[in-house]
Amino acid sequence: MSTVNTMRAVGQQVLGGPEVLEAVEVAKPAPRANEILIRVRAAGLNPTDWKHRQTGGFLGEPPFVLGWDVSGVVEAVGVGVARFKAGDEVFGMLSYPWGHGSHAEYVAAPARGFVHKPAAVDHVQAGALPLVSLTAWQALVENAELRPGQRVLIHAAAGGVGHVAVQIAKAHGAYVIGTASAGKHDFLRELGADEVIDYRETDFTEAVKDVDVVLDTLGGDNAVSSLRVLRPGGVVISILPIGGAEFHEEAERLGVRAVRMLVDADRADLQAVADLVEAGKLRATIAGTFPLAGAAEAHALGDTGRTTGKLVLTVD
């Protein structure tokens, strides 16, 4: 049991599989100027969590505590914070990638990365949304400048980012095409997808043409191939900002745009997401919830790459 100056968290001392995750006692943070201290009620899991667990990614060698999604209750505010007070329910994303650490009882974070939790949803819903919804919003609305009537192709459309992107695209009046295994097609149609492609049976480059925007969540050859289904002037937004020069070279040859991006914590974008949630136009599908002590089990499920929607850690 944690003391007043410590807290429970899910940490790791070495890189590896889910088995390297362990319950740890760490110092309870204190909010600095312009920060809020949040008692975490729910924290989403994302593919970036298992990738960092395995490889260290941006963070290098452990020890570290992972997690970027947060929904919870403000415990205290730092000097200069005027927007929030103790007791406020908030949700948001820690600064990516360096602000990790939400898989714990408490987290201190910049106040500008948070907004009030939509009253229409609980902490599990709110904790599932920040990273995936900000990724989808920044890809489609900011970088692609999505407009009503445009044709959008979303890869891995039943995944965490994908199923949120389908809803955001539909909310902006787009015609949405999604790729997913056959068993997930009904799910995507319920979210509003206009066409669904079974990537196991069909080559999307032969099934889709004249697309305005592609959201690539897979990277590599998929990003390059996606350029070939665009209309002139169209854009592929890849949320995996790694890879060779071929992506940009092929885009230039075809007269289309190629963009690689990383998600960024942003209050204005998050408020736009919260407004969609309040309007009933955006909801996370929860693939499973786990207590902090079940983090390894959640990571093992995430490692399969076959979950529909989001996995969430809950903190009592």
Tell me the pLDDT of the chain (316 aa) as tens digits. Answer: 456 799 999 999 999 999 999 999 999 999 999 999 999 999 999 999 999 999 999 999 999 999 999 999 999 999 999 999 999 999 999 999 999 999 999 999 999 999 999 999 999 999 999 999 999 999 999 999 999 999 999 999 999 999 999 999 999 999 999 999 999 999 999 999 999 999 999 999 999 999 999 999 999 999 999 999 999 999 999 999 888 899 999 999 999 999 999 999 999 999 999 999 999 999 999 999 999 999 999 999 999 998 999 999 999 8
Q: What is the pLDDT of residue 316?
A: 85
* Domain match, 13 and 26 both: yes
* Domain match, 94 and 53 both: yes
Q: pTM value?
A: 0.97
Q: Is residue 275 part of a domain?
A: no
- Give the count of domains, the chain: 2
Q: Is residue 214 part of a domain?
A: yes
* Domain match, 137 and 240 both: yes
Q: Is residue 238 part of a domain?
A: yes
Q: Is residue 16 part of a domain?
A: yes
* Domain match, 153 and 187 both: yes
* Domain match, 79 and 56 both: yes
Angle between helices 160-171 and 130-137 (to 10 degrees): 50
* Domain match, 254 and 148 both: yes
* Domain match, 250 and 137 both: yes
Q: Is residue 52 part of a domain?
A: yes
Domain that holds residue 296: 6-129+284-314
Q: Is residue 277 part of a domain?
A: no
* Domain match, 153 and 104 both: no
* Domain match, 232 and 144 both: yes
Please state, as a whole number, how many other Cβ atoms lie within 10 Å of the Cβ of residue 87.
Answer: 8
The CATH number of whichever domain residue 64 belongs to comes to 3.90.180.10
Q: Is residue 43 part of a domain?
A: yes
Q: What is the pLDDT of residue 4?
A: 77
* Domain match, 61 and 173 both: no
* Domain match, 256 and 309 both: no
* Domain match, 157 and 94 both: no
State the SS3 of the chain: CCCCCEEEEEEECCCCCHHHEEEEEEECCCCCCCEEEEEEEEEEECHHHHHHHHHCHHHCCCCEECCCEEEEEEEEECCCCCCCCCCCEEEEECCCCCCCCCCECEEEEEHHHEEECCCCCCHHHHHHCHHHHHHHHHHHHHHCCCCCCCEEEECCCCCHHHHHHHHHHHHCCCEEEEEECHHHHHHHHHHCCCEEEECCCCCHHHHCCCEEEEEECCCCHHHHHHHHHEEEEEEEEECCCCCCCHHHHHHHHHCCEEEECCCCCCHHHHHHHHHHHHCCCCCCCEEEEEEHHHHHHHHHHHHCCCCCCEEEEECC
Q: Is residue 211 part of a domain?
A: yes
The CATH number of whichever domain residue 205 belongs to comes to 3.40.50.720
Q: What is the pLDDT of residue 3?
A: 62
Q: What is the pLDDT of residue 2?
A: 59
